[in-house]
Structure 1
Amino acid sequence: PGNKSMIRQMLMDMMTDYMFGTGLDEVVKGQAKHNKTYVYNFNYYSWNDYQPPWRGIAHGQELQYMFGFPYINQTYKDLFGVYPRQQYDYQDRNMSEYMISMWTNFTASGNPTPKTFDPVLHFKNVTWLQYNNFNHSYLEIGNTSRNLINYRQNHYGFWRKYFPQLYNRPNFIKNTGSSSTDDQQKNYQIATYSLVGLSVLLSVIVLSLCIAVYRRRPKDY
């Protein structure tokens, strides 16, 4: 209980599973039943990253490498006004080339690591295996990329199966306060009527002032 770093990490993992992982895992499993599917876990951390290491890899942090941000030079910055949040070194550029190559190959052929390319030179001697619903294989992309299986399946199962059962129990504490739909609708109606009444009152005041000014204007006779 006194290990605050561990508690912080577990809280971040829990929120990541709840907000992103569980839903994405459900979509991937459905997609794999009908089409070729490739899943990855981005685990590369740059030494030049602007975020502290304890935050880990943030959601969407791989996009800068997919779109070639490490190759943006000063000329490109001055021409297009694009300024990345951090500096990049040769390792970041290698990671960017690595990801761009795989995504381009997948778009062109449906295979991110085809045999027509040198796997050592282009793909760090790793062949990205297709995802399946038996062992849930995926590619971990990092300083050392590798194929792994069953990424956080127990944690996703908690949110997908156990938590709904727990929530539907009769003695489960649910939020029945002012956040319910009926209360929100009542609050919205009260706010609407109040604004309408205030608008009418202001209109009457403005009209009265206009009449008073009109009557006090100097007459020309």
Structure 2
Amino acid sequence: METKKNPNLEIGRNSSIYFAIGLNIMLFFTWRGLEYKSYEKDDFAMEILDIGEEIEEDIPITNLEAPPPPPPPPAAAAPDVITIVEDTEEIEETVIESSETDQDDEIADPIEVSDVAVEEVEEEVSVPFSVVENVPIFPGCKGKNNTELRNCFALKMNEHIKKHFKYPESALEMGVHGKVFVLFAVDANGNVSNIKTRGPDKKLEEEAYRIISLLPTMEPGKQRGRPVKVPYSIPIHFKIQN
């Protein structure tokens, strides 16, 4: 049995042409869709200018009646009688004498230098303990030279500290300990002065001050035969023994 087929009605004969045409149409719509731009309506400002007729308002003119100005004050009446008082009181004028001098002025006798009393003020000289010619002598110290007296001074100082040493109870309970540096001076009269302390606690500083303030009066140090002030420093150790 033969298949009946009309060559003029064959559908697949021009299929490639139809495919190309359809592809081009789709590409065209796709391109237009990508190029399409839209704008939001809210971004546009719709402004309407309304120009109306200007209305001229007639302002009535009013006449303001201003009050009349006050009358001028009356002129002061002149006194009828003028009495003339005579000035009988005399005023003494103060004469200011000139302070300038001339050739006729006498010059007072000059004062001689011997008539002026000059008071000598003794200046307190301070010489360090290590370089003073004669060190202060602690009571009970004896020595042939300055070195022996210096060693005796240090020995007597240690004995004095051990004798009067008393550990503060409050510092002992709190476990406060350390080294207190004491600086004082033996003045020209042999008295202890200018006591200064520096340590780890105020209670320890007060105890060190008390010990040094109990030092006796000494024989003052001398420099070139004159009594001088001699500063001295010594550390005091506060130790807690278990």
When the two structures are superposed, what TM-score results if normalisation uses the length of structure 2?
Answer: 0.18
More strand by share: 2
> If you compute each CA radius of gyration, which structure gives the higher value, 1 or 2?
2
More helix by share: 1
